[in-house]
């Protein structure tokens, strides 16, 4: 089968098209013919060897997320049928390939309303967004929520979920195109995260946020804490360095900072999130935004692009479309 592979940790340019052996499954696993693969920042961390959670085996086929068709089922797998359309996350052999092995615990039925390319945007981005808002920050209808870094894959999913749940959503962009995209999504108040003092209008107790979903904590956490309402919470989704804070900002507000790591989410919680999301995709309440769809051989470019500023949604790779 065709697969994009790398022989050791290294730059995206080391990714090469390979003629790989089609993987086989054990009794607990599902073989999926991949329709499209999602490209997320974590794929680049794993490829280059800076990921915290997983040691890779080589040759390594990148890609945690994807969507496709079930073509074989392990003897102990229940709840799935051959031919079903599914999406998955944390697959076992890499989604940048014609076939991939998925754990039944991380595979979910794909809403009929979604294409494979759209389905490839669900695993990490929407699941993380749901867990950040509801599982970690305990967000509820009416909360004033800042999605700090809203133009990327997780940010847009968070915006859509928060709007659907009746929250008062303020969202940040780095570019005017990003700001326009957020307005198209229904956000009425967009702020620009590259402007200095962009949080200043919110840094009083009566103007502060109940919740901040943070995509770049090393840049923003110090100022976030000053922009919380009493009892507010910052949920850290993204971070690429260290930051100095004044803990008094937390004390003054009875505020909290919580971490969000999708990798820590248990299978039963993932299944509940998938169950909650599916009808919202069927009804069109949630709709992935695909910024660019690449051919499989363009995976290296997708890995470069996913780390660039100026995000405008998800990046996906077409495999068997
Ligand atoms: P993405 O699609 O590449 O988007 C990155 C986002 O960060 C964009 O909206 C970008 O906005 C924004 N950003 C850039 N500079 C910023 C700043 N100074 N302040 C606030 N936001 C800023 O990535 P993603 O998939 O949405 O993921 C976002 C981050 O969360 C990544 O670091 C990723 O590794 C991490 N993540 C963590 C988990 C977890 O389990 N904890 C899960 C998924 C992702 P502009 O481009 O418009 O400037």
pLDDT at position 52 over 70: no
Three-state SS for the chain is: CEEEEECCCCCHHHCEEEECCCCCCCCCEEEEEEEEEEECHHHHHHHHCCCCCCCCCCCECCCCCEEEEEEEECCCCCCCCCCCEEEECCCCCCCCECEEEEEHHHEEECCCCCCHHHHCCHHHHHHHHHHHHHHHCCCCCCCEEEEECCCCHHHHHHHHHHHHCCCEEEEEECCHHHHHHHHHCCCCEEEECCCCCCCHHHCCCCCCEEEEEECCHHHHHHHHHHCEEEEEEEEECCCCCCCCCCHHHHHHHCCEEEECCHHHCCHHHHHHHHHHHHHHHHCCCCCCCEEEEEEHHHHHHHHHHCCCCCCCCEEEEECCC
Residue 51: predicted pLDDT? 72
Query: Quick check: pTM over 0.75?
Result: yes
| CB distance 309 to ligand 1 below 6 Å | yes
CA of 280 relative to ligand 1 center, distance in Å:
23
Tens digits of per-residue pLDDT, 130-188? 999 999 999 999 999 999 999 999 999 999 999 999 999 999 999 999 999 999 999 99
Q: From ligand 1's centre to the CA of 306, what distance in Å?
A: 9
Domains of the chain by start residue, with CATH: 2-121+288-318 (3.90.180.10), 125-263 (3.40.50.720)
Asked if residue 178 has its Cβ within 6 Å of ligand 1, the reply is yes
Q: Which atom of ligand 1 is nearest the CA belonging to 220?
A: 19
Tell me which residue has its CA closest to atom 34 in ligand 1: 41
């Amino acid at each position: 089968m065709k697969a994009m592979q790398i022989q050791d940790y290294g730059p995206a340019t080391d990714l090469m098209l390979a003629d790989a052996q089609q993987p086989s499954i054990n009794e607990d696993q599902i073989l999926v013919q991949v329709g499209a693969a999602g490209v997320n920042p974590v794929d680049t961390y794993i490829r280059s060897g800076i990921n915290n959670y997983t040691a890779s085996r080589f040759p390594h086929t990148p890609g945690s997320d994807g969507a496709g068709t079930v073509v074989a089922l392990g003897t102990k797998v229940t709840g799935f049928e051959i031919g079903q359309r599914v999406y998955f996350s944390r697959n076992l052999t890499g989604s940048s390939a014609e076939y991939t092995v998925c754990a039944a615990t991380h595979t979910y039925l794909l809403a009929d309303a979604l294409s494979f390319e759209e389905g490839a945007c669900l695993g990490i981005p929407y699941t993380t967004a749901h867990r950040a808002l509801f599982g970690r920050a305990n967000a509820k209808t009416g909360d004033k929520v800042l999605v700090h870094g809203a133009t990327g894959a997780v940010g847009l999913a968070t915006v859509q979920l928060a709007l659907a749940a009746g929250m008062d959503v303020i969202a940040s962009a780095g570019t005017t195109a990003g700001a326009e995209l957020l307005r198209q999504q229904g956000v009425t108040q967009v702020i620009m995260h590259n402007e200095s003092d962009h949080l200043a209008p919110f840094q009083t107790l009566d103007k502060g946020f109940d919740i901040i979903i943070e995509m770049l904590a090393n840049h923003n956490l110090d100022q976030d804490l000053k922009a919380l309402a009493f009892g507010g919470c910052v949920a850290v989704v993204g971070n690429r360095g260290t930051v100095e804070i004044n803990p008094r900002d937390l004390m003054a507000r009875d505020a909290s900072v919580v971490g969000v790591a999708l990798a820590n989410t248990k299978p039963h919680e993932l299944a509940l999130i998938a169950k909650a999301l599916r009808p919202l995709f069927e009804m069109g309440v949630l709709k992935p935004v695909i910024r660019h769809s690449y051919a499989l051989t363009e995976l290296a470019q997708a890995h470069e692009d996913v780390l660039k500023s100026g995000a405008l949604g998800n990046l996906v790779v077409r495999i068997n479309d």
